[in-house]
Structure 1
Amino acid sequence: MKIKNHAITMIVALGLPLIGCQGGSEDFQNYSSTSSAQNDSQNITDPTDTTVEDSHDIADHIHNDITEAISEDIQALGCVKASTSQKKQVNLGLSKKEEFLAKCSKETNGSSWCDELVRPNPRSVNTFRCTYGSSQAHNLIHPDESTWKYPIAGVRILQDLSAKGLKISQIYNWWRPEPYNKNVGGAAGRHPYGTSIDVRFASNSEADRAFRELCKMRKAKRLRAIGHYGSASLHIGVGDRTANTWGKSCN
């Protein structure tokens, strides 16, 4: 009972927007197939720029770190249900699952991380079910094939980090469309466009080492954004619209 009371207190502190699953709105659909065109027309920021703090990105992962310690039933309390058209986009992506996995496998020499790209955060499964329904397959694949290059490039980055001896636990986010993205407290400008991945390393110190290596890759223009959340998790923004770092600076 003490654990439940503590969890509820944390939820109140987080200020979850809605209690209970509610009907979805068309206004949440910012993950349409026009995302690639938006990325192509974006203003490019010099990857050598100094750190830009992004409070939404930081809040996203503070939220995730807390909810990972909360029961799944409580996680699903603040939840907006996906609209029919939002589910249609998710199912369109699902219909391309095997095609994506084949492409990822071919371009990464059969990396097992490809499977983790299409599986949303397992610690937020109840929020996923609340958003899309209990019968929905626990998979998210961006339906716009032009975005697939970003997570695949992310896997290749992880392969290079692994070759340097870094210990990687899992990929736990790629495409995170609305309203699922909002339901887990996500920033609006990152994962809904399918341009980045979130990665959990074996320890905080491993994440620190990985961040330093990623800074070198960013300087070489292999990725645009890096987020360090003060834990074992990093955001790897291969094609993010905003080219920045947060949580730590690249020296």
Structure 2
Amino acid sequence: MKLNAYTMMIVLSLGLAAGCAPGDSGEGTPNEAISSQTNSAIEDGASEDIADHIHNDSSETQLDSEIESLGCVRASSSQKSAVNLGNTKKDEFLQKCAQETNNSFYCAQLVRPNPKSSSTFRCTYGSSQTHSLVHPDENTWKYPIEAVKVLQDLSAKGIKISHIYNWWRPEPYNKNVGGAKGRHPYGTSVDVRFGSEGEANKAFRELCKMRAKKRIRAIGHYGSASLHIGVGDRLANTWGKRCN
């Protein structure tokens, strides 16, 4: 099979092998990641996580089909068990989120993996797996719920928000969509698409103010309508664009 330059770029950037491999040990448990967080700020631009959203821009559909055709890392039985455990708590999470956010409709979006990466989700977990992700560690739930409150405050300022499209992305699903290891696998952040790039720029300025007040820790800007909001990210930084 001949691979064009675009496909080769994808393979190299995502580190995928042709064919599905069994299991992926990940990089430690969520509790280990969360307990290692500190309050010390890291300089803006100290860490670049552009790869974390390579699949979310205009080439997303094409990239997703390339991943499926080339193969992906299959989730191990223990990794599937963690996903299934989280899904048993879905109603509990949604109830908690609703109670703390005045029944925000964003709560339902948190547990729905990116619809545009659905084929990668199937490749990772199999076609019978429910397309839903809830972090099984209830200690992480405060992060996405706070992110919903952040969005509510942005909306109150007239900033147009489209939807949340990522919260928890466990391994190896996170790897298969090209995600950075230190963010979404720990359930500490969300990805949000705004009404336009201009609206995302407005949101970025407001998020920078929140970051200065230590309400959030990280912000990712990708030169598009999408932003990463790291409420509890271990790295307290920005990337793609700096706060003034």
TM-score (norm 1): 0.89
Q: Among 187, 191, 200, which residue is 1:198 paired with?
A: 191
Equivalent positions of 1:85-164 (< 5 A) are 85-164=78-157
User: Deviating runs (4+, > 4 A) in structure 1?
Assistant: none
Cα gap change, 1:19 to 1:66, in 2 (>3 Å): farther
Aligned-pair distance for 1:22? 2.5
Identify which range, 12-21 or 234-243, moves more after superposition.
Answer: 12-21
Letter in 1 for 2:211: R
TM-score (norm 2): 0.92
Equivalent positions of 1:177-196 (< 5 A) are 177-196=170-189
- Structure 1 residues 91-145: Cα deviation after superposition (integer angstroms, max 9, x where no partner): 0000000000000011000001000000011100000000000000000000000
Map of 1:40 onto structure 2: 35
Map of 1:247 onto structure 2: 240
Q: Among 61, 75, 99, which residue is 2:53 paired with?
A: 61
Q: Among 224, 229, 233, which residue is 2:222 paired with?
A: 229
Identify which range, 57-66 or 168-177, moves more after superposition.
Answer: 57-66
Aligned-pair distance for 1:11? 2.6
Tell whether the 8 Å contact from 1:171 to 1:197 is kept in structure 2 after alignment: yes
Tell whether the 8 Å contact from 1:64 to 1:184 is kept in structure 2 after alignment: no
Tell whether the 8 Å contact from 2:54 to 2:178 is kept in structure 1 after alignment: no
Q: Percent identity?
A: 63
Q: Among 199, 206, 212, which residue is 1:219 paired with?
A: 212
Unaligned runs of 5+ in 1: none
Report SS of the residue matched to 2:38. Answer: coil
Equivalent positions of 1:74-85 (< 5 A) are 74-76=66-68, 77-85=70-78
Letter in 2 for 1:58: I
Letter in 2 for 1:147: T
Report SS of the residue matched to 2:51. Answer: helix
Write the distance in 1 (CA, Å) between the matches of 2:235 and 2:120.
27
Cα gap change, 1:241 to 1:38, in 2 (>3 Å): same
Unaligned runs of 5+ in 2: none
Cα gap change, 1:187 to 1:72, in 2 (>3 Å): closer
Aligned-pair distance for 1:63? 3.8
Letter in 2 for 1:184: V
Write the distance in 2 (CA, Å) between the matches of 1:199 and 1:151.
11
Write the distance in 1 (CA, Å) between the matches of 2:59 and 2:97.
30
Tell whether the 8 Å contact from 1:141 to 1:175 is kept in structure 2 after alignment: yes
